[in-house]
Chains A and B, each alone.
Chain A
């Protein structure tokens, strides 16, 4: 067997090259591993620290009672939990339908003037600081109505959610294979019917993930609520529903009661408690942070489980 010139050349270098490859490989692997761990540190640090600081102040009353006077045990932040849920839900109602429809337009007609304007303004809107959005809603709604309200708070959060919903939904719709659309259109289905019953279900899992992202962000917003929802230590949705039914009010009257008064939210309460000079309040603000984290996590887990089960049903 004859060896070529090339084989002679590399056989001399083989040992050195092989050792070098192994070392570089090991170094790069440990580098990426170490940096991955480093990136995870803040996440687990935050979660661990919040559990450590806030865990001791959490008890059942914390979830089911309104705030009480300083120094008295057995009170909670029910107002903030309910307020967060109410305003986040309201924001979803305001933001999701127009956001999804706009995303359909952007995905279907990306190069029309309206499509271009839409994408550009979505990018701009997502860059607007949240406090500016709060001020905007203050000028638009709070000033006009003459009082702060959960409605204004929900609206401010909705404006903040809108760009995320439009962009993620648009991206997910674009991922749906065009042949799926064509399959429906070739059967004679109209564009709207195709979008609604073929394209949308095919993209739904990703779209839900986009909703989750924006909901998690929205539930943690503080700044836009300062000028809109303001805060309300007596905000008790359950009580309003019960007394509303007792007074024979209809659904709209009860809804009006819930939405038309100042409301509290977890991040707002956290901020207020943490900036007070009393150690007890500061302690409670850690607990509020923990509740907020758990709430967001819960929403996330429930939606994930739902998406997963849907995926399994689809893949068979």
Chain B
């Protein structure tokens, strides 16, 4: 238990940006198995935070806790607090629909709905009662602009989303997530199924939109974490196979001067 002092490092020194999310003592259980052990982390507003670590260390579980997607797993149970703008979204009375509108998600594999490009993007706004044609047109165009897809699809909005290439599909999924104007966007290895050029476009796109959103990305790709993120959280499993956060700092520090030996080994490729 004495390495717990090294675990919690939510405070960031230097210029202090506004905090968007504060995770306090978050643990996730699958049945009796503890998958995540007492995670503490502060997510800064309008910054990109990367979560890195070896396979099976609970990165995705942590990410899915942020918009309560773990609720969908019947055996999953969460303890601790996830404070989003001062409100604990993990509390029992909170409307999970509202949480998921405020905290959007982009998945590992592009998963456009079997609908037209337009209907894919308009799906979210329609859920929240926006049905006027003009309003929807405006939202669809704006979202596709933001995800840098508009020029490629503006003439075929009513073709199926599945007709696009993999990279385009992923940008469509990002547009779909942006259409409900979330505050935080969770990305679970958003480029791992894409070719290098599509990956680059996704990364550029993240840079472009981060001024309006807060982004949290899980990635296996060290270079990607180094390229895109402002802050990096390093996770690893402990002796009880529970995921824990071993270091959290500005990305530059994590990659050039990490305090934990395990982080250094991992980011330099000596382990993991």
Contact = CB atoms under 8 A, between A and B. Distances in A.
User: Among B96, B113, B114, B176, which residue has the most Cβ atoms of chain A within 10 A?
Assistant: B114
Interface stretch (A4-12, A113-121, A187-195, A209-217): A187-195
B160 A188 contact: no
Interface in A193-210: 193, 197-198, 201-202
A180 B114 CA distance: 9
Interface string B102-145: 00110111010111000000011001100000000000000000
A186 B163 contact: no
A315 B162 contact: yes
A153 B176 CA distance: 49
A87 to B, nearest CB: 34
A182 interface: yes
A184 B177 CA distance: 10
B89 to A, nearest CB: 13
A188 B67 CA distance: 10
A227 B113 CA distance: 47
A187 B104 contact: yes
B98 interface: yes
Contacts of B111: 177, 179-180, 182-183
B101 interface: yes
User: Among B104, B128, B160, B173, which residue has the most Cβ atoms of chain A within 10 A?
Assistant: B160
Q: What does DSSP make chain A's interface, helix, strand, loop or mixed?
A: helix
B72 interface: yes
Contacts of B177: 186-187
Given A187-B177, A188-B124, A179 B159 contact: no
Contact of B114 (A186, A188, A190, A202): A202
A316 interface: yes
A111 to B, nearest CB: 9
Contacts of A186: 67, 69, 100, 104-105, 107, 177
A190 B114 CA distance: 18
A314 interface: yes
A186 B188 CA distance: 12
B67 A179 contact: no
B12 interface: no
A183 B163 contact: no
A177 B163 CA distance: 17
Interface string A31-61: 0000000000000000000000000000000
A186 B111 CA distance: 12
A316 B162 contact: yes
B180 interface: yes
A306 to B, nearest CB: 16
Contacts of B109: 179
A313 interface: yes
A176 to B, nearest CB: 9
Interface of A: 177, 179-180, 182-190, 193, 197-198, 201-202, 313-316
Question: Can you list the 4 inter-chain pairs with the closest CB atoms, starting with the nearest?
Answer: A316-B163, A186-B105, A188-B100, A316-B160
30 contacts: A177-B111, A179-B108, A179-B109, A182-B72, A182-B111, A183-B113, A183-B173, A185-B69, A185-B72, A185-B100, A186-B69, A186-B104, A186-B177, A187-B177, A187-B180, A188-B100, A188-B101, A188-B124, A189-B123, A193-B127, A197-B113, A198-B114, A202-B113, A313-B160, A314-B160, A315-B163, A316-B159, A316-B160, A316-B162, A316-B164
Given A188-B98, A315-B160, A316-B162, 20 more contacts: A179-B111, A180-B111, A182-B107, A183-B111, A183-B113, A183-B173, A185-B69, A186-B100, A186-B177, A187-B101, A187-B123, A187-B127, A187-B177, A188-B124, A197-B113, A197-B123, A201-B113, A201-B115, A202-B113, A315-B163
